[in-house]
């Protein structure tokens, strides 16, 4: 995994701006501390920081290839999981290879197939290719949106990068937000609208899209893949076998690495499946899998059972560790360490985020990196197999609006009156929700439960899952750790989109189909364990700590957050006894306080001008 950034400007000679480009490159050096490279011509600058995973010696970037009269230059962040198949096809087309890297395969795929190459890729990627003679930039992003790619567009140039910080490092890019940015950080956070970079004139290449930028200074974008509604023709037994193949194949493909690799292990269904498949593959090679878990100091003392978290993880983790005979590593986080990481989490994401859910993952990934460079994680199974409570509770399922965030009115209560009024008139949340429903692919005449389940899956893939993928990428790459997500294989997403709900809810269990398909890989206790979310601290010291952090910020009468947020609302949050769900059960009172602390820190640290 890597960091990429660059600029195309047909109005000036970019060779005079090398120092600026070095600053941009340095901004994302944490994504790729192993190597870095730069390619600058009159109107093009490509910057790369590399985390060497495949062919460390010969996979350096930017990489060039001359084919006929065209010179192609690529910078690439990602991994291809069908590299060997693509390489063989390209050999048939007359291509010769000098490295074993997937970068060379990707570059030559574009040279042979042009933009159509994206349809051949199975992987996670964001990449840019410059065609020197055509003076044309090509940008592309993977189908599900695992790897990020932002850009800042003006009448004169495009500046792009893996992270916002790389673009913001260019002096021509203002650190400014308008009412749209305020809407994002107040009404949508910790998520954000796909395609929106929050900062003014900051955008994002959408998942499953590619784009061309040419001398007319226009960016033409194209969608190359989307979920399709089709009749499901396989019976339950065939469906089980098909799911089993897709999942095991995705996991096995993602175990390819020239550096140490391990797996996250929460003791839940998804990470346990990945760890079990990986462990068996390792055993064939006489290797022992490294597994990694996180917990919080004194959580055994303070854990409180709830509807959403009926039991804690450690007992199930120990069960899986014994079952796998893995080389297991624990990370135990204390409150001061967690609170301190809230600031680093903002700088990793370039935005306020999921508070301690972000911060704990950032700390966890730092510890994992001490042992491996690549890790596999179980994100996105719940979105595809219907594991969340809002899929299974008919009342929640049918409620209008994003099911994980039914808090728009509460969020608006924090805004200063004049801002709240503008946001009410804009009606951004409802508009975004309805737009997602409108682009949901349905069968002709489809209605009732099956229609709603397609809508739910589309809502989750386009919104909730993107928030989790943002979190996973930024917190891991802040520590130069590559995290792969096998359940995000687009083949799994397309197949699951058309499976009837009664199959997915086999035996009345959340993700019953997944449990049945993978039952040979898990002990009974873990196989039928009720879903439990990402673990968070239950220590009351955390609430006291984040309360003090926000109090200290508010001691400053010029605190930047007070430009958009009412002091009285923050004081009510700090000292009231409200039952708060700012972002469903993931962000209750402690996390909401921490979020507003992060928001103020972000506005100050990034020196953001608010222009309404």
**195 Cβ contact partners less than 8 Å away, ≥ 6 residues apart:** 203, 204, 206
Residues in a beta bridge with 72: 65, 131
In terms of Cβ atoms closer than 10 Å to its own Cβ (0-12, 13-18, 19+), residue 238 is exposed
Q: For residue 584, which of 549, 536, 548 has the smallest C-alpha distance?
A: 536
Q: How far apart are the first and last CA of the chain?
A: 37
Please report, for residues 271, 279, 409, 459, 575, the alpha-carbon distance to residue 290 in angstroms, rounded to integers and kept in the order given: 13, 9, 45, 34, 44
C-alpha to C-alpha distance for 251 and 376, rounded to whole angstroms: 8
Q: Encoding tokens for residue 352?
A: 């306020």
Q: Residue 593: left if φ>0, alpha if ψ -120 to 50, beta else—which one?
A: alpha
Q: Are 481 and 31 in contact (CB under 8 A)?
A: no
C-alpha to C-alpha distance for 301 and 167, rounded to whole angstroms: 45
**190 Cβ contact partners less than 8 Å away, ≥ 6 residues apart:** 352, 353, 354, 355, 358, 467, 471, 583, 587, 595
Q: Give the count of alpha carbons within 13 A of 252, CB side only.
A: 10
Give the largest CA-CA distance in the chain. Answer: 70
Sheet holding 290-296, edge to edge: 327-333, 290-296, 261-264, 374-376, 482-484
Segment (H or E) for 589: helix 589-605
C-alpha to C-alpha distance for 298 and 304, rounded to whole angstroms: 12
In the annotation, is 117 catalytic? no
Write the DSSP symbol of residue 213: E
C-alpha to C-alpha distance for 566 and 523, rounded to whole angstroms: 52
Helix boundaries (H) for 144-210 = 164-168, 179-183
- Catalytic positions, please? 2
């Amino acid at each position: 995994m890597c960091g990429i950034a660059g600029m195309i400007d047909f109005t000036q000679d970019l060779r005079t701006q090398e120092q600026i480009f070095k600053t941009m490159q340095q901004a994302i050096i944490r994504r790729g501390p192993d190597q870095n490279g730069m390619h600058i011509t009159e109107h093009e600058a490509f910057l790369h920081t590399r985390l060497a995973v495949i062919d460390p010696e010969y996979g350096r970037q930017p990489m060039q290839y001359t084919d006929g009269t065209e010179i192609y230059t690529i910078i690439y962040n990602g991994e291809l999981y069908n590299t060997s198949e693509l390489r063989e096809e390209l050999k048939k087309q007359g291509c010769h290879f000098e490295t074993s890297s997937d970068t060379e395969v990707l570059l030559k795929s574009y040279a042979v197939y042009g933009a159509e190459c994206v349809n051949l890729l199975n992987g996670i990627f964001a990449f840019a290719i410059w065609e020197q003679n055509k003076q044309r930039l090509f940008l592309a992003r993977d189908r599900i949106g695992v790897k990020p790619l932002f850009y800042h567009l003006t009448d004169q140039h495009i500046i792009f990068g893996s992270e916002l910080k790389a673009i913001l490092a260019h002096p021509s890019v203002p650190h400014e937000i308008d009412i749209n940015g305020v809407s994002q950080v107040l009404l949508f956070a910790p998520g954000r609208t796909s395609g929106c970079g929050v900062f003014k004139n900051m955008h994002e290449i959408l998942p499953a899209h590619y784009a061309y930028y040419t001398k007319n200074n226009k960016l033409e974008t194209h969608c190359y893949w989307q979920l399709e509604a089709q009749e499901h023709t396989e019976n339950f037994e065939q469906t089980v076998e098909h799911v089993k193949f897709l999942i095991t194949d995705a996991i096995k493909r993602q175990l390819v690495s020239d550096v140490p690799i391990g797996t996250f292990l929460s003791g839940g269904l998804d990470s346990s499946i990945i760890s079990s498949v990986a462990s068996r593959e390792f055993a064939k090679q006489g290797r022992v899998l490294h597994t990694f878990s996180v917990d919080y100091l004194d959580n055994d003392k303070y854990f409180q059972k709830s509807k959403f978290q009926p039991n804690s993880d450690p007992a199930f983790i120990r069960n899986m560790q014994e079952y796998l005979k893995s080389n297991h590593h624990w990370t135990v986080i204390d409150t001061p360490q967690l609170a301190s990481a809230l600031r680093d989490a903002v700088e990793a994401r370039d935005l306020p985020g999921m508070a301690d859910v972000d911060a704990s993952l950032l700390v966890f990934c730092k510890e994992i990196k001490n042992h491996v460079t690549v890790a596999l994680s179980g994100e996105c199974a719940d979105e595809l197999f219907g594991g969340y409570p809002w899929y299974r509770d008919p009342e929640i399922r049918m409620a209008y609006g994003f099911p994980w965030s039914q808090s728009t009115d509460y969020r608006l209560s924090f805004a200063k009156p004049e801002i709240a009024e503008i946001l009410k008139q804009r009606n951004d949340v409802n508009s975004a929700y309805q737009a997602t429903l409108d682009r949901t692919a349905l069968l002709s005449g489809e209605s009732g439960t099956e229609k709603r389940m397609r809508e739910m899956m589309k809502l989750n893939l386009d919104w909730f899952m993107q928030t989790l993928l943002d979190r996973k990428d930024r917190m891991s790459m802040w520590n130069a750790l590559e995290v792969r997500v096998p359940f995000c294989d687009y083949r799994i997403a397309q197949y699951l989109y058309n499976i009837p709900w009664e199959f997915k809810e086999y035996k009345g269990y959340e993700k019953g189909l997944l449990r049945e398909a993978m039952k040979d890989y898990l002990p009974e206790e873990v196989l039928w364990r009720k879903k439990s979310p990402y673990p968070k601290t239950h220590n009351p010291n955390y609430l006291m700590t984040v309360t003090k952090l926000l109090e200290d910020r508010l001691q400053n009468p010029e605190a930047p957050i007070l430009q958009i947020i009412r002091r009285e609302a923050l004081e009510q949050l700090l000292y009231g006894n409200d039952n708060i769900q700012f972002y469903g059960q993931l962000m209750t009172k402690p996390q909401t306080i921490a979020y507003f602390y992060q928001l103020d820190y972000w506005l100050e640290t990034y020196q953001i001008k608010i222009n309404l």
